[in-house]
Chain A
Amino acid sequence: DIQLTQSPSFLSASVGDRVTITCRASLGISNYLAWYQQKPGKAPKVLIYAASTLESGVPPRFSGSGSGTEFTLTISSLQPEDFATYYCQQLIGYPVTFGPGTKLDIK
């Protein structure tokens, strides 16, 4: 199985801050990575796929980068609605796996 780790596990930040979340894969996965946002009591929502392609309707303050084994999700200027848990998912290996999540809360 391809294992994904995320850092940090928890992140406190303020509105307007720039934040970066890292996802590392145990094997090289090229650009086969997606990022999801999940708010409490809600289903996850895809933000980015192919490591850096923004899903339609997602604000441009979200961006993704990386290839191989290291990936980042960046929020350029945090908005109140961005406080949530973020998951990465690899899209190449069987079985499909997710990272453990990064909880972003308000400082």
Chain B
Amino acid sequence: QMQLQESGPGLVKPSETLSLTCTVSGGSISSSSYYWGWIRQPPGKGLEWIGSLYYSGTTYYNPSLKSRLTISVDTSKNQFSLKLSSVTAADTAVYYCARLACFTSCYYPRGYYMDVWGKGTTVTVSS
């Protein structure tokens, strides 16, 4: 059974870089059937898609975050990572990683939904 686990610092100072890693177990991140993604949820608010990637390194970013965002993959470790630079209090959120499965057409983002989620990790931006 596939599991995803987020890890990284729970506290980041303003203007610094937020770095998180998602470790995939119970399956290979190099599967051609899936994309992998990051989603966040500010306290008391809804879900925001951050970005997605394919094991080959192809990435898709939310335009609202693109200038500060890097998502990368390490297939040897079965991990993918997120780096968000110049953070502010508005970046305080629970960050989730997820597996994206496709039901038809399979040309990202067409048909891709989040079928396996990590438990999430809380990141607070504060000095």
What is A's interface to B at a CB cutoff of 8 Å?
32, 34, 36, 42-46, 49-50, 53, 55, 87, 89, 91-101
Contacts and interface: CB of A to CB of B under 8 A. Distances in A.
A44 B103 contact: no
A95 B112 contact: no
Q: For chain B, give the interface size range.
A: 20 to 34
Contact of A91 (B46, B48, B109, B117): B109
Nearest to A53: B103
B47 A87 contact: yes
Contacts of B114: 34, 36, 44, 46, 89
Main secondary structure of the interface of B (DSSP, over half): strand
A100 B118 CA distance: 21
B110 A32 contact: yes
Nearest to A95: B62
Interface in B76-127: 96, 103-104, 109-115, 117-120
Given A36-B47, A95-B64, 5 more contacts: A89-B47, A89-B113, A93-B109, A94-B109, A96-B62
